[in-house]
């Protein structure tokens, strides 16, 4: 992280300087009394893995697994800037874009200078580790509420994992990481289910560990009931084709990733 001072902030000039000099593609900087993130275009990504994922989605008859390409490079920068502007215009809390170039952009930090800002996933984990069941469940509900707000505005997130939801200093949830645009390649109902499954996969294990899974199921059912008929239909079909997950061992015998999958199915599939 670099520190600079300025009375009259020229974000464009600051961005140009950092893109030319910063050693990493994503870095934070303190400019005056604010913290700014500068994101530089990386190397374009290979599309081979997306083709493989597409075949898998077709074989499993799971549209929610259809890949959403992220080409990387300047295209990813353009996509993220466009999506940040669009989400902000819809009233969804995201980082504010301050300056843009074809090879990178600057955005304002969601927290305060000198104060660590945690992801929602970290916040839930801390509550679970502290044995605070009610706090863990309330934080988990905040994530569901944030997804509901996004969906009510007729859009979706990119990868709705709890690590991409940030708890701001005022306690509200903001969304980050928009290098791809699912709605550009998938029906909106599928995008909403994709958001739901990402969130369930990244948080259900916390409910299992804290002993709040039963309450979580009730809240999940209430959240699903608020969705569109198309979303509920896609979700039901997707969960129905995931029945094999119930046979996964509930312990860490096959690794934590599969343990998360099993916990997610317990949240969704009963």
Give the C-alpha separation, 268 to 196, whole Å.
10
Please say whether the beta carbons of 14 and 4 come within 8 A. yes
Rg of the chain, C-alpha, whole Å: 20
- Res 117 pLDDT > 60: yes
pLDDT band at 6 (very low <50, low <70, confident <90, very high): very low
DSSP 148-170: HHHHHTT---SS--GGGEEE-TT
DSSP state of 110: S
Q: Which of 123, 270, 261 is nearest to 202 (CA)?
A: 261
Q: What share of the chain is helix, strand, coil (3-state, %, to 5)?
A: 55, 10, 35
Condensed to tens digits (0 to 9), the pLDDT of residues 11-55 reads 999 999 999 999 999 999 999 889 999 999 998 866 555 455 555
3-state class (DSSP) for residue 56? helix
pLDDT given for residue 239 in this prediction:
86
Condensed to tens digits (0 to 9), the pLDDT of residues 141-184 reads 999 999 999 999 999 999 999 999 999 999 999 999 999 999 99
- Res 203 pLDDT > 70: yes
3-state class (DSSP) for residue 9? coil
- Res 231 pLDDT > 70: yes
* pTM summary value: 0.89
Mean pLDDT of 190-200: 94
Q: Which of 265, 263, 72, 101 is nearest to 179 (CA)?
A: 72
pLDDT given for residue 238 in this prediction:
87
Mean pLDDT of 115-119: 90
CA 247 to chain centre: 28
In whole numbers, what is the pLDDT of the chain averaged over residues? 88
Condensed to tens digits (0 to 9), the pLDDT of residues 48-89 reads 554 555 555 555 567 777 778 888 999 999 999 999 999 999
pLDDT given for residue 258 in this prediction:
67
Mean pLDDT of 110-133: 94
């Amino acid at each position: 992280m670099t520190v600079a001072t300025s009375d009259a902030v020229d974000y464009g000039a600051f961005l140009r300087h950092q893109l030319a000099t910063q050693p990493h593609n994503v870095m934070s900087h303190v400019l005056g009394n604010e913290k700014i993130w500068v994101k530089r275009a990386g190397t374009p990504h290979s599309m081979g893995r997306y083709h493989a994922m597409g075949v898998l989605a077709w074989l499993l008859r799971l549209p929610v697994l259809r890949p959403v390409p992220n080409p990387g490079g300047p295209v990813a920068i353009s996509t993220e800037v466009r999506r940040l502007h669009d989400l902000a215009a819809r009233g969804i809390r995201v980082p504010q874009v301050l300056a843009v170039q074809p090879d990178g952009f600057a955005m304002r930090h969601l927290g305060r200078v000198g104060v660590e800002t945690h992801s929602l996933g970290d916040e839930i984990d801390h509550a679970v580790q502290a044995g605070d069941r009610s706090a863990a469940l309330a934080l988990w509900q905040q994530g569901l509420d944030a997804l509901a707000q996004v969906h009510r505005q007729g859009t979706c997130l990119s990868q709705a994992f709890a690590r991409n939801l940030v708890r701001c200093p005022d306690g509200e949830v903001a969304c980050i990481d928009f290098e791809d645009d699912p709605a550009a390649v998938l029906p909106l109902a599928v995008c909403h289910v994709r958001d739901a499954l990402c969130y369930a996969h990244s948080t259900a294990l916390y409910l299992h560990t804290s002993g709040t899974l039963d309450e979580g199921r009730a809240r999940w059912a209430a959240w699903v009931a608020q969705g569109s008929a198309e979303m509920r239909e896609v979700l039901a079909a997707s969960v129905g084709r995931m029945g094999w997950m119930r046979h996964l061992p509930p312990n860490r015998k096959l690794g934590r990733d599969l343990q998360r999958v099993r916990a997610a199915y317990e949240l969704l599939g009963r």
